[in-house]
Chain A
Amino acid sequence: MNSSILNYWKNLKNKSVRNVEIARGILYLIFFVQIINALVGIYNSPLIGIIYFVVYFPLIFLIRQDLSKDFDNLMSDDFSKPIDIDTFNINLKLMIDEVLEKFDISEQIEYYISINNFDYSPFVFSRTKVNFLVLPLGFFKLMYERPQEAKAILAHELSHIAQHDTDLTIFIKIFLKYVFAILLPIQLLILSPILYYSYQSSKEYRQEASDYNNAMFANGGAGISYYQDMISDSYANAKQSEKIYWGVLFSLVVLFLLYGYLRLITYNSEKTADVGAAAITNTSAIESIISRVLDDRKYKKRKKFWFTVNPSVDWRLKKALLLGKKFN
């Protein structure tokens, strides 16, 4: 059973690696386009350019800061220690070696233990092509009580390294957090007077067109030149405002499509990692871990944001049950 799941995982992993590269490219493109936008903005309208620089560029630094948070916390934390995986614990070493061999992972990994982290689940992140696997204290209890589940969690995390998405999923989360929580509200705040002006101009233009019509046909053509001048000014204003209006709508649609796409990437990423974990252990180990996480979540009552990109635990449990049916 495990070899067929392993083959299934390899297929998913290859697709995942490709999709992750594409998503990475799209995100870099967005940054590039924004920089061009800002420069063009400065050239055409200094105000829009300044807004871009004031609002957008500090976000890039905030995102960078957020991305390195895990690493900085780990390095500055008295409670985190690097460990030599060859000598630290033989059971752990055997588990890790088995997963690395089956997943064919050759990337560099540094191992840490975190004494002030009582979770069961380790976590991975990467920085400058080095991957870090951080093992919390609870994991060592799990390793003794339910070794299969511990191995499955470990395999899930190491699968992310094989999928090359350790930094991307964090990046996506942070990107969306800033876009939806900061950038979008600020832009809407700035654009709402323009949208109001667009609405007013269109209304004014319609009224003037109606007056013009009346002047042409009802009053025997008196005062037509006056109306013509007024209408051509109003028409230009209305057209300009309409452009902005459609531009904003288009940006919003693109943003929500992007959100859906990035969500899809993270859902696939988690699903692939769960399949990897099942390939190393079995599907029931995955089911019981996810059920346990479900109970744990209820206990922790973690804050959730509506623009979260991670799949829900219920969704993951459903997928794990389907996987069990498929391969059992």
Chain B
Amino acid sequence: MDNSEDFKKLMRSIVIEEFPSEIFAFDISSDELIKKLYQDGNIETTLKKESQVNFMEQAMAVLGFIGVLISTYKAIIEIKGLKLKNKIDDQTIEKNWMSALQDSGLSKEEINKVVSKHIANLSSYLCK
């Protein structure tokens, strides 16, 4: 997965609609965060700070987009794996994304809202 610019665009559209107050925080951090995510495959290890307990939980509690960013990235990896085995359709994408977002700290209603609004964007991203 090397189309990080497209991933950033997808995430930005989610942040603008679902977390409008976090857009500035997203804009100043997304390049670094996505770069690390693509390099290491996991922000949790690269962002880990020794001094803070439950660092990722805290990050997700303060900034909602962090959880969505990580979960969506994980869902994309899984879906790409299924794609290689030709087991992919819109329902599978939706199901996998919803299941991944359960770890993002969002409520069920918020997950449904994010997925229903942005599933088309994710599907078109996956088709590229």
Query: A residues engaging B (CB < 8 A)?
Result: 78-79, 89, 113, 115-120, 137-138, 140-141, 143-145, 299-303
Contact = CB atoms under 8 A, between A and B. Distances in A.
B86 interface: no
Contacts of A115: 28-29, 32-33
Given A138-B25, A140-B24, A144-B24, A78 B62 contact: no
Interface in B22-81: 22-25, 28-29, 32-33, 47, 49, 52-54, 58-59, 61-63, 66
Given A141-B25, A299-B58, A116 B47 contact: yes
B24 A118 contact: no
B21 interface: yes
Contacts, number: 56
A299 B24 contact: no
A144 B62 CA distance: 13
Contact of A113 (B28, B52, B66): B28
B28 A300 contact: no
B48 to A, nearest CB: 9
A118 B66 contact: yes
Q: From DSSP, what is the main secondary structure of chain A's interface residues?
A: loop
Contacts of B33: 115
Contacts of B29: 115, 137
Interface residues of B, number: 21
Contacts of B61: 299
Given A138-B25, A140-B25, A118 B32 contact: no
Interface of B: 20-25, 28-29, 32-33, 47, 49, 52-54, 58-59, 61-63, 66
A137 B21 contact: no
Nearest to B27: A140
A302 B53 CA distance: 7
A90 to B, nearest CB: 11
B28 A138 contact: no
Contact of B24 (A78, A79, A89, A302): A89
Contacts of A140: 22, 24-25, 28
B22 A141 contact: yes
A141 B28 contact: no
A303 B50 CA distance: 13
A320 to B, nearest CB: 22
Contacts of B23: 144
Contacts of A118: 58-59, 62-63, 66
